[in-house]
Amino acid sequence: MHYAPINLSLPKIHLDNMITYCELESALVPAKDKTPDIDRISYPMLSNLPLIAKEKLLSLYNNIFAIDYYPHAWETAAIIPILKPHKPSNLVSSYRPISLLSCLSKTFEKIIAKRLIWFITKTNRIKHNQTAFRSRQSTYSRFTFATATFCIRLDCHKKLRHNLGY
């Protein structure tokens, strides 16, 4: 498989721009998780910050982005064991681990992920039939397409055999 080098001479690539207030707001809107993370900051807390505090958060994100330094504390997760329904509490296998990560970190990562998705879509770096991990698409769509294609070909094969007298 051959991959062409990325043409960075495209009109001012969005990837390198400072993070905007709209990007921050966009990353906070879909956040429904009310569970505070390891630093006890939850999404509702971030979403309901006053404008001045959101501007400080935006400044923090832009500084992290500009100096290419990811805070070590954001790489740390608290792992909480949750008892599975109807399981005995005295068995380790009765628990599933939940990893609590920083909402500050997850919000920053959403912003960067949206930029990367925009870039690979805009520059045609992803095949049109790639559906996994893409917004408003699913692997089920590809499975349905493959099944329909198989059925059409099978039906054509049967008609061909019938017409040839097999």
| Dist CA 132 CA 96 (whole Å) | 26
Answer yes or no: is 153 within a domain: yes
Decide: helix, strand or coil at residue 92.
helix
Alpha-helical runs (H) found in 9-138: 21-28, 43-47, 51-67, 103-122
| Dist CA 16 CA 89 (whole Å) | 50
Across the range 94-106, mean pLDDT stands at 91
| Dist CA 149 CA 151 (whole Å) | 5
Clarify whether residues 112 and 133 are in a common domain.
no
> Over pLDDT 90: what percentage of the chain?
38
CB 83 within 8 A of CB 3: no
Answer yes or no: is 4 within a domain: no
- This model's pTM is above 0.75: no
**Structure confidence at residue 150 (pLDDT):** 74
Clarify whether residues 37 and 82 are in a common domain.
yes
Q: Please, which pLDDT band fits residue 81 given cuts at 50, 70 and 90?
A: very high
| Dist CA 31 CA 72 (whole Å) | 23
Answer yes or no: is 7 within a domain: no
Residue 60 reports pLDDT greater than 70: yes
Answer yes or no: is 62 within a domain: yes
Answer yes or no: is 74 within a domain: yes
Q: How many domains does the chain have?
A: 2
Give residue 53's region: left, alpha or beta (phi > 0; psi -120 to 50). alpha
The domain containing residue 148 runs over which residues? 128-166
Answer yes or no: is 61 within a domain: yes
Indicate the average pLDDT of the chain. 81
Across the range 81-88, mean pLDDT stands at 95
